[in-house]
Homo-oligomer: A and B are copies of this chain.
């Protein structure tokens, strides 16, 4: 086992040995063991992974846990602002944080396509390492499968995660109440447009960057200071519109959004206009919707803004009992329109 000090940035399996993934790397024999030892353990090794068991033994500090899973099939694997590796860590970390939990332990399972360049896999592993360290989570158990060329698409990743629930918090979509305010920690639609412009070879200048980020530290801080938070939700696939529609559906409340409070960067707005997309439906990966009583909203804003991920936080709407189950947008010209759930597929394989 290599120790951390000896971790190299160059791929630990040189091209002269194997320049790409072979079926045998998923066979459970010697090549699987080599891949695990030289690449995964070298980069991600810790006392849990080194148990080299069918699973990890964990001792938790509380009996109240959050548990979540996500598979990542993003295309392309690398995009402005991130790659499938940090996306897979941040996505699961944020799902746990949105349960009101402190993310602790992650599993990491790869489905690799035969012929995947070894160097690409190594870049993703390094990105995973960096994102996990930043988010304060440990990868404690893993799995590697390989499928024949043409039966996969480079790299698919599943991460599942366990978090410890923060005492006193009760986060659930159905706890959304009339009078509550809706906050978001910054501008929307960046992840989806970064993927799309990379995929379609659209050279927007400046390049639109994904907002992928761990929200754990910011939300942890928020929940420790404000116990009245009712709903946390990361508006990923389906965007802001779909997330808010789900919340309205669960809680049988309505939400009124204020268009002039929702920030969309100029580059994203321009790209959306060219492609005929509504930014309300475009995926985010570093954003969270926070719904809480009005009296705590200003304090919450202050806390959110003290974190880099929340510097642009704003109040963007209000919960109402007037149109239960429905999200309405008050537009810039002071008319209103209904913001429905996403129908059909806007952007496939965005995460």
Residues of chain A at the chain B interface (Cβ within 8 Å): 22-24, 26-33, 51-73, 75, 94-96, 98-99, 101, 105, 107-111, 140-143, 145-148, 150-153, 156, 158, 160-163, 165, 171-173, 233-234, 236-238, 242, 246, 250, 283, 341-349
Contacts and interface: CB of A to CB of B under 8 A. Distances in A.
Given A31-B344, A51-B172, A71-B109, 6 more contacts: A55-B68, A58-B64, A60-B65, A69-B109, A111-B111, A145-B349
Contacts of A349: 26, 145, 147-148
A68 B107 contact: yes
Given A109-B69, A152-B152, A348 B56 contact: no
19 contacts: A27-B237, A27-B344, A28-B238, A28-B242, A29-B345, A31-B343, A31-B344, A51-B172, A52-B173, A54-B68, A54-B95, A54-B99, A55-B161, A57-B64, A57-B65, A60-B65, A63-B63, A111-B111, A151-B153
Contacts of A140: 67
Chain A binding surface SS class: mixed
In this complex, which of A56, A101, A108, A165 has the most chain B Cβ atoms within 10 angstroms of its Cβ?
A56
Contact of A158 (B27, B109, B348): B109
A54 B243 CA distance: 11
Nearest to A346: B27
Contact of A29 (B52, B234, B346): B346
A152 B30 CA distance: 26
A137 to B, nearest CB: 12
Contacts of A348: 23, 26-27, 146-148
B162 A53 contact: no
A246 B52 CA distance: 9
Contacts of A27: 237-238, 342, 344-348
B29 A343 contact: yes
A240 to B, nearest CB: 12
B95 A67 contact: no
A71 B234 contact: no
